[in-house]
A and B are shown apart, each in its own frame.
Chain A
Amino acid sequence: MANQQPNSGNPRVDIEYRRKKSAEEMKHQVITFAMMIFLTIVAFVAAGYEGFSAWFIVPFILILAVVQVIFQLYYFMHMSHKGHEAPALFLYSGALVGFITIIAFLTVIWW
């Protein structure tokens, strides 16, 4: 993984390349971190502002939350890197099952 220290004795490991990768990675993390703080502020503002109805605020905040989860997973937990296919598969399957459950409860039981 690109952010690891070169700890293998293999001479073919390209330290230069790794450095560059890590720097890039770092840049992405800083950017997403700033974005996440910004989104959090937006969420607070949306909730605090009198003029919006609950029908707008709730779905809006939920969307922001989903975006934050994706940032978290891909930029901080490195899900975009190689070798994370199986966790990704199970994560999405789990999310799908959970989502279906909630939709069903909303539509079949309480609608």
Chain B
Amino acid sequence: MSTLAQKKGFGATLWDYLTTVDHKKIAILYLIAGGFFFLLGGLEAMFIRIQLAVPNNDFVSAGLYNEILTMHGTTMIFLAAMPLIFAFMNAVMPLQIGARDVAFPFLNSLGFWLFFFGGVFLNLSWFLGGAPDAGWTSYASLSIASEGHGIDFYALGLQISGAGTLIGGINFLVTIINMRAPGMTYMRMPMFTWATFVTSALILFAFPALTVGLFLLIFDRMFGSNFFDPAMGGNTIIWEHFFWIFGHPEVYILVLPAFGIFSEIFAIFSRKRLFGYSSMVFATVLIGFLGFMVWAHHMFTTGMGPIANAIFAVATMAIAVPTGIKIFNWLFTMWGGSITFTTPMLWAVAFIPSFVAGGVTGVMLASAAQDYQYHDSYFVVAHFHYVIVGGVVFALFAGAHLYWPKMFGTMLNEFLGKITFVLFFIGFHLTFFIQHFLGLWGMPRRIFTFLPGQGLETANFVSTVGAFFMAAAVIVLLINVVITTVKNEKVGNDPWGDGRTLEWAIPSPPPFYNFKQLPLVRGLDAYWLEKMEGKQGMSPAEPLGDIHMPNNSFIPFVISFGLFVAAFGAMYRADYSWGIPVLIVGMLITLGSMFVRSIKDDHGYHIHKEDLEDNNDKGVKA
């Protein structure tokens, strides 16, 4: 029970985090690793914008530009946005449903380490002969023609980290289905929990398509098959379908949790119940469902024919309806509420117009005939940055400020938070708004430079200036984090004062067992209900008893490390004689540690009732 120790050396803390199965610590791991990759992806973005600041620039070469661009997209989607979302899901969702942990704590840790090693593997490509360079979509003909090992790093790295994501998603599903506290019916679950639920279902159904696609790519590139090679009877379009059957749900995997975070924020800082809760749930489920019916809108110009284009165009436009429902519900939540403009609330309010702008260009793109004009131009770049940055990244910033006290027990500085917001908001619109017009003026996407005298200079320069604003905003946030951590002023259960859901009823950060007694949930916004009746906290649903806890384990780390080693073997198999042995050793490490896990009985331990009794809520050590 290392968590009970008061003071620990650095080594002990490190070991604790390497072996932890506690969802709150795994959340912190996701936050740190995802944050690191976010900075990396941001750095790549700065290089892109510097290169495009002026015409005929030679800041980077064409080949290197392709690598930077590819790694920016891949890193941001798979290694930054997804893990950061997983950080908040891990930190908050079990608390919101009144659970002591996720359903499979061991798998939770395995999911993190798989993601981590996959991400590290992918990024090692920079030092080992060049990064992938076929775009984050890695379309097959291009990616198979690509020389060197860049694309191999892409395929193997994403395969490993994708397995981690899939495991995480299944874990969340089982947790939400089985581990809700007494009284927490489905229709009393907080919106963020609902978003986690639907997102996890999307992960469950969407990621296998990516897995299959990546395996075919791996076989084509490394083991001599010809799935995507038309000259050998393959079909290059198959990759595009697999990628987008995964890829479109993926964008909703990113944005639904963002919707969830904003739903919490609007309710908390308007001091009102979320308007139209049941229609919000309905809209979330419907978006998840429709998200699977529209992938081919990314392929209007591949020659699918008018019938397929028409079907997918109509299906795509249909998604705007549930999205609109949500937008109006947020507006009505604010209407008549007593609003406080805290930092999270600023992000939430700014999110609405920003995201709507992205949705509107989405519907424009969805019209297949128009898309022949927009496709592969900067218009598309502007569209997806409006939805992803204006939706997802705003939510990540908002969530970081909102949940920081719950995760670390300290409040981020509000003044610096607002500076971050203003800088980022200005920078974001400066960078991406003008890109709509760049697209309409004919600037293609994914070009490494442009010529002078074509009317693209000013707009590109403006765009680059905007990027520096965003970089400044991130730096202010980092300073804020450092200051907050150094000051280390602890806060109470409900630091925002208006918390509505269960996580705000327990200490910040919560004790490692979360709830001494499982709470009794009597309605939506369970904690708010109790507060309105003048109660201090939740009424318990069970007598005080022993709590069963899982033991820490180093095995997830080893399993993931084995795959990391095996991936190197698979990649260098054709080049060096040590390839095959390394592949085998890696698989042995993985399978061996899985074997150990399955034969070794690990029943966990119990926290005894007596220990809980003399340990009043305040004195909880975390």
Contact = CB atoms under 8 A, between A and B. Distances in A.
Contact of A109 (B201, B205, B237, B293): B237
Interface string B204-234: 1100010000000000000000000000000
Given A93-B201, A101-B209, A108 B308 contact: yes
A90 B238 contact: no
B241 A109 contact: yes
B304 interface: yes
Contacts of B173: 90
B201 A108 contact: no
A108 B296 CA distance: 10
A97 B209 CA distance: 10
Interface in A59-111: 86, 90, 93-94, 97, 100-101, 104-105, 107-110
Contacts of B448: none
B412 interface: no
Contacts, number: 30
Contact of B296 (A86, A93, A104, A110): A104
B208 to A, nearest CB: 9
B241 A86 contact: no
A94 B205 contact: yes
Contacts of B245: 101
Interface in A17-57: none
Given A90-B204, A93-B201, A107 B292 contact: no
Given A86-B177, A104-B296, A107-B308, A97 B205 contact: yes
Contact of B201 (A90, A101, A105): A90
A44 B339 CA distance: 71
Contacts of B177: 86
Interface in B284-341: 292-293, 296, 304-305, 308
A59 to B, nearest CB: 23
Which interface class (under 10, 10 to 19, 20 to 34, 35 or more) fits B? 10 to 19
Contacts of B237: 109
Which interface class (under 10, 10 to 19, 20 to 34, 35 or more) fits A? 10 to 19
A104 B305 CA distance: 13
Contacts of A104: 241, 296
A31 to B, nearest CB: 32
Query: Looking at chain B's contact residues, is the secondary structure mostly helix, strand, loop, or mixed?
Result: helix
Contacts of A108: 241, 296, 304-305, 308
A86 B238 CA distance: 32
Contacts of B304: 108
A105 B241 contact: yes
Nearest to B242: A101
B36 to A, nearest CB: 33
B235 interface: yes
Interface string B227-267: 00000000101100100010000000000000000000000
A105 B308 contact: no
Contact of B238 (A94, A107, A109): A109
A107 B311 CA distance: 13
Given A90-B201, A104-B241, A108-B304, A97 B235 contact: no
B166 to A, nearest CB: 13
A73 B241 CA distance: 30
Interface in B145-196: 173, 177
A97 B305 CA distance: 22
Interface centre among A90, A101, A107, A108 (most CB of B within 10 A): A108
A93 B249 CA distance: 14
B499 to A, nearest CB: 29
Contacts of B296: 104, 108
Nearest to B170: A90
A100 B238 CA distance: 14
Contact of B205 (A93, A105, A110): A93
Interface of A: 86, 90, 93-94, 97, 100-101, 104-105, 107-110
Q: Top 3 closest A-B pairs, CB basis? A: A97-B205, A86-B177, A108-B308
Given A94-B204, A108-B304, 17 more contacts: A86-B177, A90-B173, A93-B201, A93-B205, A94-B205, A97-B292, A100-B292, A100-B293, A101-B241, A104-B296, A105-B238, A105-B241, A108-B241, A108-B296, A108-B305, A109-B238, A110-B235
22 contacts: A86-B177, A90-B173, A90-B201, A90-B204, A93-B201, A93-B205, A97-B205, A97-B292, A100-B293, A101-B209, A101-B241, A101-B245, A104-B241, A104-B296, A105-B238, A105-B241, A107-B308, A108-B296, A108-B305, A109-B235, A109-B238, A109-B241
